[in-house]
Amino acid sequence: MTERLQGKRALVTGAASGIGRAVATRFAREGAQVVFADRDLPGARRAVAELPGTAVAVEMDVTDEDSVAAAHAQALAEVGPLDVVVANAGVQLFGQDAPVADLDLNVWRRTIEVNLTGTFLTVKHAVQAMRGRGGSVICTGSPTGLNGEGRDFTAYSSSKAGIHGLVRTVAAAYAHEGIRVNTVVPGYTETPLVTAISGDADSRAAIVARTPLGRPGTPADVEGIMVYLASDEAAFATGAIFRVDGGMTSL
């Protein structure tokens, strides 16, 4: 590794598994002190145990502002003021999310609560922590928030579109304070979140067929752009959407 994040202090949500774990691990290997934040504290601790150095695990429920505030306070105590926050935690309720006429209100509320409200709270406390110093906030979006890819996932698609809008607004509001805010849009990426697709041969083949590069993504495919946005190399990048979707949204 090139240690492009040497001296940085970062917090990543949803870091017990999937993209969050991959990104947090890569940040640590690039020289950052990393806080692995997740509601699944044992999972976050297992991820940290595989790393040398100063990575730490904290419990954080992104839907609970007290929990988010406590996690930030613990991060400050354990690694110091944060330079980078990745708002990545999310849910996709396969078998429950549906076209709008068939969507149960509770499924809508749960999805919005975790994905959009959870991102809002993560970003809110990240910005509070970075004011006066600057920093980089990175949110995980989705092709479903950009095109009709998620037509059967009304709640999920809406939550991700909301994230894209939130990022643009926060980026504009805090650019003068040196706080950069960007969205990374992974395509179909095989993680524990999408076993309903990856475990069904027909569904998997259909979504891969809509990906011009002809394969599913992996968490490793997302790490590089996250490292770039966390680093000083991205000093002039804010309010942008960075697509790492195998060309899915280019069609």
Q: What is the mean pLDDT of each run of 10 residues along the chain (251 residues)?
A: 89 96 96 97 96 90 98 97 97 95 98 98 98 97 90 95 98 98 91 67 78 87 96 98 90 64
Active-site entry in 156, 174, 188, 228: 156
**Predicted structure pTM score:** 0.94
Please report the pLDDT score of residue 193 as a whole number.
64
Q: How high is the pLDDT of residue 189?
A: 82
Q: Which fold has domain 9-241?
A: Rossmann fold (3.40.50)
Structure tokens at 180: 């950069």
The sign of the CA dihedral 138, 170, 177, 118 is negative
Q: How far apart are CA 66 and CA 232, in angstroms?
A: 31
Distance from C-alpha of 138 to C-alpha of 239, rounded to nearest angstrom: 10
Q: Where are the domains of the chain?
A: 9-241
Going by C-alpha positions, the residue among 117, 207, 204 that lies closest to residue 158 is 117
Distance CA 138, CA 165 (A): 13
Phi, psi of 87 (to 5 degrees): -90, 95
Cα angle for residues 134, 84, 75 (degrees, 5° grid): 105
In the prediction, which pLDDT does 176 show?
98
Based on C-alpha coordinates, what's the Rg of the chain? 17
Catalytic residue flag (residue 174): no
